[in-house]
Amino acid sequence: MTKKKLKQIFFPLINSFLFIFFISCGFGFDSPLSTFDAQGPVAQLQKDLFLFVFWLAVIVFFLVEGAILYASYKYRQKDEKLPAQIHGNTKLELMWTVLPSIIIVIIAVPTVMGIWKTQVMPDEENSLIVDSIGHQWWFEFRYPQEELITANELHIPVNKDVIVNIESQDVIHSFWIPKIAGKIDMVPNHQNKLWIKADNPGIYYGQCAEFCGIAHALMKFRVIVHTKEDFEKWKNDMRTPPVALNPGSEEDEGRKLFIGNCSMCHTHDSYKKAAYHKEIQNQNIRWEEWKKDKEYSAIVSAPNLTHFGDRLTIGAGLKENNLETLSSWIENPDNIKIGTRMKNHAAIYNSEDQFLTSNEIDQIAKYLLSLKPDKVNVITYTNNN
Amino acid sequence: MSTISKPKQFQLPRIFPRPKSHKGLWYWLATVDHKKIGTMYGLVAFFWFLVGGIEALLIRLQLGQAESSILSPEVYNQMFTMHGTTMVFLVVMPLSAAFFNWIVPLQIGARDVAFPRLNALSLWVFIFGSILMNISWFVGGAPNGGWFGYPPNSSLGFNPGHGITYWVMGLNILGVASIAAGLNFIVTIINMRAPGMHMMRMPVFTWMTLITSVLIVLALPILAVAGIQLTADRIYGTNFFNSEAGGDPIFWQHIFWLFGHPEVYILILPAMGIVSEVLPTFSRKPLFGYTAIVFAGLVIGFLGWFVWSHHMFTVGLGPAANTAFTVTTMLIAIPTGVKIFNWISTLWGGSIKLNTSMLFSIGFIAMFTIGGLSGVTHAASPSDTQQQDTYYVVAHFHYVLFGGSIFAIFSGIYYWWPKFTGWLLDEKLGKISFILMFIGFNLQFGPMHWVGLNGMPRRIYTYAEDMGWEGSNLAATIGGFIIAVSVLVFLANVILSKRNKQNSGGDPWDARTLEWSISSPPPHYNFVEIPKVNNIDDWWYRKYPELLEGNNQNFKKQKIEVEDSSNVDESKIHLPDLSYYPLIIGIGLTIAGLGVMYTYALVAIGLIMVFWGSIGWSTEPVNEDSKEHH
């Protein structure tokens, strides 16, 4: 084979490698779900371990690929003579059995240490405990120590160990906050635990990472990491009733519509005393009802909407929470998210005499946005992304 | 010759006459010739390769930009489910089977496989099973639960309709084909080697076929158990995996991956075998460390059974289980490394002919290495919890299964094509298709590493613009279409090369193993005389006997021709007659499978056909009377 032909074959190969390298580097690791922007000890350990293995792999990569390219070029056919007929070399073969074994041991030690470091839970008494339950296609968060309940936005304090008890009500989901910790699956009939801890206050993205049906791509959540003081304020807020409404106002009309049409599934008053256990009970009843009649049950599991006006997003982390997006959601959840049980079960979409007018939709949206704790504590949300 | 006549045996009355002619449709339907069966395996699997490829292109179109709506979410889910299932069960496995069928009997110096009719049964069950699975597209939607079909998402409660049932019935039926083929090749390789071919003289491709067949026979029944349980859950109301009624979805994951991980080696070991044939041939020197490569294959096949839970590092099995499976998984890197280093050493110091087949094999080592290295990052399970179910995993296993298996399969196609047909494929078009595939492949799957580490989960039909994933995804989509062009160039190559046939002769590559010692395409009885084997690469040393005396230089190639089959008295060669019973059983099984979903009447019809086929098969003589008394 001539040199010219070789150029034709090898240069495209090398070029394509470089091209991919530049393309990939050009885009960086800037996603809100990037695993490279570790913001907590768990994610940090996982990232460090990855990079450790990665750099070892890079060395091996260049040795192996270099040897392949070198050998294919250097030993290309030049004449019809047979090359030396070598059948093997025990010493060499022993070497490349032993060397990789040593590399494997070098990798295995920090790996195994990492497993035990990240998967053994911190002391429960000094940790915040959160129960997270996966639903098709949203996340429920319960705080058993505080008896608080919310959905799709997980509030935690900075620099504190948090143990998340993880379960699912329906199918398998996966609980993943890339910047804070690797994922763990949410499995029905199994309880998993995940240790998380955040280094800096801010807003972080969470994402379901196990295929869970039609809206899997749209099942997200936010993690709001507060300073210690802000977290105390948030807990207080969650126990404070919402702002009183002027009778006859649009919001008040919305309230009546909400009570009539939505409140069977969406609890929105969990600021009350003893509301916590009642809500858990209600969620179970809703689930049992849905199981009995998956097509037509009147009630289904649904996110708790207490102090919804304070939420940053709607639709499980999909869109910014404002009048426009919220009205669009209420008008037809399909506008924002496919497959919701709300769309399939709520009478306002399924029996003609109960369809809402656009005015009514607007009123409900305004009411929901008015759901904020009365004595508003100012909490500053810092967005890290 | 024998004068003793056998006692008259019971024989099922025939509805159709036993086909005799070696031409026409009837012949192809009733053939028991391993070469014809291999050809049909190859053609059908290549058809599904095109179908699975189109599914992949549609997925790439949908993901090419943020928030696109080319596919609906439901159709998208069906698309990735069927892409995965098709590529694993309908493409890589049967393409490997095509090579097993064509090459193994030739490499070991046999006239056919041990059970020719069972071989035909495997083929027909595979063909009809693959059709059954794809009927689902037209009757209410294809399966949409992923190729792993995790319950409860695949349970009836969350997934009504027939899609998943078609999937699981299809797998059950395909399993029959695979297990039968696996048994057939184990028996063939153990029992039908030519005299003198010890186990440690077998070509590496035959060795890898043997190991793969053992894995198939042990692993596929596990999938069958899981499949029957899921079928029962969906049709008869049992609750093995039904979590709503207290069933255990993790149980499914354990059995699925207990099958699923050996399955990965079922997909890659044949590829390793192909590469181990191509590299020495075109380096013109023996495979470096034959024994080590064979044993590394055995060790991979063995260790493959102890790593299944690395697919489940995020399930919550606890630190002890995760530690155990981390360590076993890392161990696999060692035999894999041995193979890669031995292949490179085979190149080293050789006289390398860089033709298309060789380029694909070298491409295989280069790409498979990348897949192996990213595999080690997965084995580090704390790091894997960040990568599990992201595009990083998609990148990893495509480097193993596309850059690995498919590259090797193309290498094998270009290598053995002259043996299949007697004419050569065009080298220029071949090289163009290799370069396109190499670039397209890396452009498609390279950036997936990055986008996965950047947090993009798998199996999402859409993503928002502000996630920072658009560039990599666009590159991947462009890469996908470059691969498609490369496949079209390959097809053009086949058509054009067929038009201006360039005769290959029996041994165009100056190759090493027995299949090259006979004419191309081989006569239906393969060998005029069963060869006597004295060495590994026996055919090579028959051509270069001086090499055995340690003479490496200044010697001449022995003038030795491939076997001439033009003047052979075929009446002295015993081969089984044609049989249409395997076809009938294959059709019957598929009808019964359909009936399980719809009506028991169909089950009855299907089972009657299976019964009819089995009785007919077991009572028909291997050869009709005229030949009985040789």
Q: Are residues A187 and A66 in the same domain?
A: no
- The verdict on residue B350 lying in a domain is yes
pLDDT value of position B13:
82
pLDDT band at B195 (very low <50, low <70, confident <90, very high): very high
CA dist., res. B267 & res. B93, Å (int): 6
Q: Are residues B24 and B43 in the same domain?
A: no
Query: Looking at the predicted structure, is the pLDDT value of residue B269 above 80?
Result: yes
Last-in-domain residue among B467, B482, B503: B503
Q: Are residues A284 and A178 in the same domain?
A: yes
Q: Are residues A168 and A312 in the same domain?
A: yes
Cα-Cα-Cα-Cα dihedral sign, residues A259, A262, A265, A268: negative
Full strand arrangement of the beta sheet holding A153-157: A153-157, A220-226, A202-208, A173-177, A181-186
The letter for the amino acid at B532 is K
Q: ipTM for the complex?
A: 0.93
- The verdict on residue A265 lying in a domain is yes
CATH number at residue A377: 2.60.40.420
Q: Are residues A155 and A204 in the same domain?
A: yes
- The verdict on residue B336 lying in a domain is yes
Q: Are residues B108 and B154 in the same domain?
A: yes
CA dist., res. B83 & res. B586, Å (int): 24
Q: Are residues B304 and B417 in the same domain?
A: yes
Mean pLDDT over the full length of chain B = 93
CB atoms within 10 A of CB A233: 16
Residues of A in contact with B381 (CB under 8 A): 111, 114-115
Q: Are residues B22 and B88 in the same domain?
A: no
Q: Are residues B80 and B21 in the same domain?
A: no
Q: Across the interface, which of A75, A96, A339 has its CB nearest the CB of B351?
A: A75
Q: Do A170 and B158 touch (CB under 8 A)?
A: yes
Q: Are residues B597 and B488 in the same domain?
A: no
Query: Chain B window 231-260: which residues touch A at a Cβ cutoff of 8 Å?
Result: 243-244, 246-250
Q: Across the interface, which of B290, B366, B469 has its CB nearest the CB of A31?
A: B469
- The verdict on residue A344 lying in a domain is yes
Query: Looking at the predicted structure, is the pLDDT value of residue B10 above 70?
Result: yes
- The verdict on residue A343 lying in a domain is yes
Q: Are residues B459 and B354 in the same domain?
A: yes
Closest Cα in chain B, distance from residue A373 (Å): 31
Closest Cα in chain A, distance from residue B504 (Å): 19
Q: Are residues A112 and A244 in the same domain?
A: no
What is the phi/psi pair of residue B525, to 5°? -95, 5
pLDDT value of position A15:
61
pLDDT band at B563 (very low <50, low <70, confident <90, very high): confident
Q: Are residues A57 and A138 in the same domain?
A: no
Domain that holds residue B611: 1-30+585-630
Q: Are residues A94 and A202 in the same domain?
A: no
pLDDT value of position B627:
47
Give the tens place of pLDDT for each residue, B321-376.
Answer: 999 999 999 999 999 999 999 999 999 999 999 999 999 999 999 999 999 999 99
Task: Name the nearest CA neighbour of B613 among B581, B587, B586, B583.
Answer: B581
Q: Do A35 and B454 touch (CB under 8 A)?
A: yes
Contact A215, A136 (CB under 8 A): yes
Contact of B462 with chain A, judged by CB distance below 8 Å, is answered with yes
3-state secondary structure at position B391: helix
What is the phi/psi pair of residue A139, to 5°? -115, 135
Query: Looking at the predicted structure, is the pLDDT value of residue B234 above 60?
Result: yes
- The verdict on residue B589 lying in a domain is yes
Q: Are residues B17 and B105 in the same domain?
A: no
- The verdict on residue B543 lying in a domain is no
Last-in-domain residue among B503, B523, B553: B503
Q: Across the interface, which of A8, A13, A172 has its CB nearest the CB of B150?
A: A172
Q: Are residues B209 and B338 in the same domain?
A: yes
Q: pTM to 2 decimals?
A: 0.94
Closest Cα in chain A, distance from residue B85 (Å): 16
Last-in-domain residue among B462, B477, B503: B503
Q: Are residues A180 and A269 in the same domain?
A: yes
Query: Chain B window 334-363: which residues touch A at a Cβ cutoff of 8 Å?
Result: 334, 337-338, 340-342, 344-345, 347-354, 359, 362
- The verdict on residue B111 lying in a domain is yes
- The verdict on residue A29 lying in a domain is no
Q: Are residues A186 and A116 in the same domain?
A: no
Q: Are residues B347 and B204 in the same domain?
A: yes
CATH number at residue B245: 1.20.210.10
Domain that holds residue A103: 37-76+87-120
Closest Cα in chain A, distance from residue B500 (Å): 24
Q: Are residues B477 and B590 in the same domain?
A: no
pLDDT value of position A18:
60
Contact of B200 with chain A, judged by CB distance below 8 Å, is answered with no
Q: Are residues A274 and A337 in the same domain?
A: yes
What is the phi/psi pair of residue A181, to 5°? -165, 150
Q: Which residue of B has its CA nearest to A96?
A: B338
pLDDT band at B629 (very low <50, low <70, confident <90, very high): very low
Query: Looking at the predicted structure, is the pLDDT value of residue B630 above 90?
Result: no
Number of CB pairs, chain A paired with chain B, less than 8 A apart: 339
Tokens of residue A161, six digits? 């160990």
- Mean pLDDT (whole number) for B82-98: 97
Q: Are residues A147 and A93 in the same domain?
A: no
CATH number at residue A102: 1.10.287.90
Tokens of residue A12, six digits? 């495209």
Q: Are residues B192 and B338 in the same domain?
A: yes
Residue B292 vs residues B209, B334, B339, B341, B610: alpha-carbon distances, Å: 17, 12, 8, 11, 45
Q: Which residue of B has its CA nearest to A58?
A: B373
Closest Cα in chain B, distance from residue A348 (Å): 24
Residues of B in contact with A53 (CB under 8 A): 376-377, 380, 383
- Per the structure, the count of domains in chain B is 2
Q: Are residues A153 and A111 in the same domain?
A: no
The rounded radius of gyration (Å) of the Cα atoms in chain B is: 25
Per-residue pLDDT tens, chain A, 385 aa: give them: 455 655 555 655 666 666 666 555 545 678 999 999 999 999 999 999 999 999 999 999 999 999 999 999 999 999 888 898 999 999 999 999 999 999 999 999 999 999 999 999 999 999 999 999 999 999 999 999 999 999 999 999 999 999 999 999 999 999 999 999 999 999 999 999 999 999 999 999 999 999 999 999 999 999 999 999 999 999 999 999 998 899 999 999 999 999 999 999 999 999 998 899 999 999 999 999 999 999 999 999 999 999 999 999 999 999 999 999 999 999 999 999 999 999 999 999 999 999 999 999 999 999 999 999 987 666 666 655 5
- The verdict on residue B630 lying in a domain is yes
Contact A172, B150 (CB under 8 A): yes
Q: Is-cis flag, bond preceding B319, omega within 30? A: no
- Per the structure, the count of domains in chain A is 2
Q: Do A338 and B73 touch (CB under 8 A)?
A: yes
- The verdict on residue B9 lying in a domain is yes
